[in-house]
Chains A and B, each alone.
Chain A
Amino acid sequence: MYVAVKGGEKAIRNAHQLLTKRRRGDTGVPALTLDQIAEQLAISVARVMGEGSLYDEQLAALAIKQARGDLIEAAFLIRAYRTTLPRFGYSQPIDTGKMLVERRISATYKDLPGGQLLGPTFDYSHRLLDFALAAEADGEIEAPVRRTPIDEPMPRVTDLLDDEGLMEADPVSAEDAPVGDLTREPLSFPADRDLRLQNLARGDEGFLLSLAYSSQRGYGRTHPFTGEIRYGAVEVEFFAEELGFAVSLGTIKVTECQMVNQFQGTAKSSPKFTRGYGLVFGQVERKAMAMSMVDRALRWEELGEEQVAPVQDTEFVMSHSDNIQATGFVEHLKLPHYVDFQAELELVRRMRGEWFAAREAEEKASRNQKEAAE
């Protein structure tokens, strides 16, 4: 058993060759192209870009293909690639108020400036398998009816409601305030909100989803309402020192979620609506929502709330949200541990010996007692 892992170089080479073959599958079936993946599995691609922390649809599509559709493995490939890229600096903050909006909904206001825009969504669809897709032919799809573009601006819902002081304002930081970056500095606790949001943005969708869900079921209640979800393209700008002004690097598609939470006030803070914030690459709406709920829950200290639930525990949440770290450590159990197991074998043998000896001694003693009594 133990020696089986002493396979050496040849076994590894052969295993990887077999993987290559299995990855490709039946060669009678055409190979996937990166464009097919990027175009038709866009939400997988967006998840890999988000959790892999690199916005590049073609690279994410390649990673998904190489990983046989294993999205965590794909995000890992992207992370490992990303770490080798030179850093030029940090972009300007993106302005989601100027987003080219494809979808925008609010659950708190029936109507608001710019209106609601349902956009491409699974919501309200009947989840019935569409067997017609199984034999989908190439070709044109009927053009959807879309709202004629209007010039009306579409301000973020949280910018609309400030005149009464009912809604907490966006925190303002100095223009030249340093940006925390947990890929450059080791994380230490307590962690400020910028680092928490960065951690959540890179975090595992499933982990955040479950944490957010737990907060809805009584483990750290945050009374959330979806103030707004918007999805669309925003411009990324970079301030070029040499030029003295910001230049556009291109556009990225993001989903932003502003969760609005009823808040009864504490000694530290007046009653008002507080907010949780979520921002992810692409249309990964579920994660944007979960992120905003977890973000809000993690703000308990600043708002003077009590810490009662796992979702509020910054160290617990931030230490376990990264699926690249998590999968590595869980899966490392596949590595040989026979030296340590040998040490444990010896210990358990010894402890068993002691246990049986003690039991035998006890039985003997009780037998003697019984005999003496008779």
Chain B
Amino acid sequence: MTAQQKPLDEGEYNFAYLDEQTKRMIRRAILKGIAVPGYQVPFASREMPMPYGWGTGGVQVTASILGADDCLKVIDQGSDDTTNAVAIRGFFEKTAGVETTFETSKASIIQTRHRIPEKDLREDQIIVFQVPIPEPLRFLEPRETETRKMHALEEYGLMHVKLYEDIAKNGHIATTYAYPVLVNNRYVMDPSPTPKFDNPKIDKMAALQLYGAGREKRIYAIPPYTEVKSLDFEDYPFEVQKFDKPCGLCGAENVYLDEVILDDKGGRMFVCSDSDYCEERREAGHLGPMAADPNAMTLAGGTSDQHSEEPAR
């Protein structure tokens, strides 16, 4: 125990990094979460080799359900090529050696931060969300002891008051992401900071949804085909964001778009946030109004040399 030389090599890690005991503990929490949809299950979150707040919850959930024959897709902001998605995908390539993909339809597990793919997910797929603050009531009541009580008693008045005040003040609900939902007519749940545009996708989704919050040590789940309702009022029904233009590159409509600044003179265009969806459409011959502009293509990260970074395995 005193200062003595030790072998300091990285050593061998278990498949997908976590030891089997830990995975079993996490799988138990997942099963409980599936049994009680939308309920936040406490779990003994481990310290991971990436920082808290950078996806440790999602990574632990993925590590616990990942098998050798799974095919993993990791996205952040809808894209496979964002830095943190690259880092997390690399982590599983290194520690689990599983096949990875950019293609939504090819993946058996999709880990995501802030988006849900545009393409409908299937029953044989699982989507894992990275969650920073799992408690939908947190910014109304900072104390965990209180919010747990509120969930137990189905005491959600505070949330409705907040939404009502929004309407009274702004004429509409001023929540654009992490928009609270009611799961299976019982638990109010935070769908993670996805834009409210994605909320309709989590209602009766065919795929299993798992949510992992590492720092806050909570796991929750929505089983396939569960009813998930975005909170609203009869006279102020829930609405999603609408974009008045199609994707500049692939021409897609009714998808979530990123605003890309083209120059310092106010030039901008809107492109699909789901980069795989956009690419697939372009390959199928769909072209948007900006597709011919090489500058736009490069800035949007839509150049063909992206293909060369597609994982080979």
Contact = CB atoms under 8 A, between A and B. Distances in A.
A324 B214 CA distance: 12
B304 interface: no
A171 interface: no
Interface in B46-82: 46-49, 51-54, 56, 76-79, 81-82
A145 interface: no
Interface in A155-172: none
Given A1-B261, A8-B81, A340-B114, A315 B8 contact: no
Given A82-B47, A343-B241, A336 B82 contact: yes
Interface residues of A, number: 63
Interface string B84-96: 1011001000000
A55 B1 contact: yes
Q: For B45, B256, B258, B299, which residue has the most chain A Cβ atoms within 10 angstroms?
A: B258
B155 interface: no
Contacts of A143: none
A253 to B, nearest CB: 8
Given A186-B217, A336-B77, A331 B53 contact: yes
Contact of A343 (B56, B81, B144, B177): B177
A338 B77 contact: yes
Contact of B83 (A11, A82, A83, A190): A11
A56 B1 contact: yes
B114 A337 contact: yes
Contacts of B301: 3, 6
B114 to A, nearest CB: 5
Interface string A322-350: 00110111111001111110111111000
Given A328-B52, A340-B195, 6 more contacts: A56-B6, A329-B53, A336-B82, A338-B258, A343-B241, A347-B174
B50 to A, nearest CB: 8
B47 A83 contact: yes
Q: For A80, A184, A252, A335, which residue has the most chain B Cβ atoms within 10 angstroms?
A: A335
Contact of B260 (A3, A325, A340): A3
B177 A76 contact: no
A351 B170 contact: yes
Interface stretch (A57-65, A129-137, A209-217, A266-274): A57-65
A328 B193 contact: no
B1 A3 contact: no
B251 interface: no
Contacts of A252: 1-2
Interface of A: 1-3, 5-12, 35, 38, 55-59, 62, 76, 79-80, 82-84, 86, 183-190, 236, 249-252, 315, 319, 324-325, 327-332, 335-340, 342-347, 351, 354
A9 B143 CA distance: 40
Q: Which 10 A-B pairs have the closest CB atoms?
A: A328-B52, A332-B53, A328-B51, A250-B1, A343-B176, A186-B42, A329-B53, A6-B301, A57-B3, A80-B49
18 contacts: A3-B299, A6-B81, A8-B81, A8-B306, A9-B86, A12-B87, A55-B1, A58-B5, A76-B51, A83-B48, A188-B42, A236-B1, A325-B52, A328-B53, A336-B76, A340-B114, A342-B273, A344-B176
Nearest to B299: A3
Q: For A10, A186, A324, which residue has the most chain B Cβ atoms within 10 angstroms?
A: A186
A342 B86 contact: no
A329 B215 contact: yes
A2 B51 contact: no
Q: For B78, B90, B176, B241, which residue has the most chain A Cβ atoms within 10 angstroms?
A: B176
Contact of B19 (A84, A251, A331): A84
Contacts of A86: 19
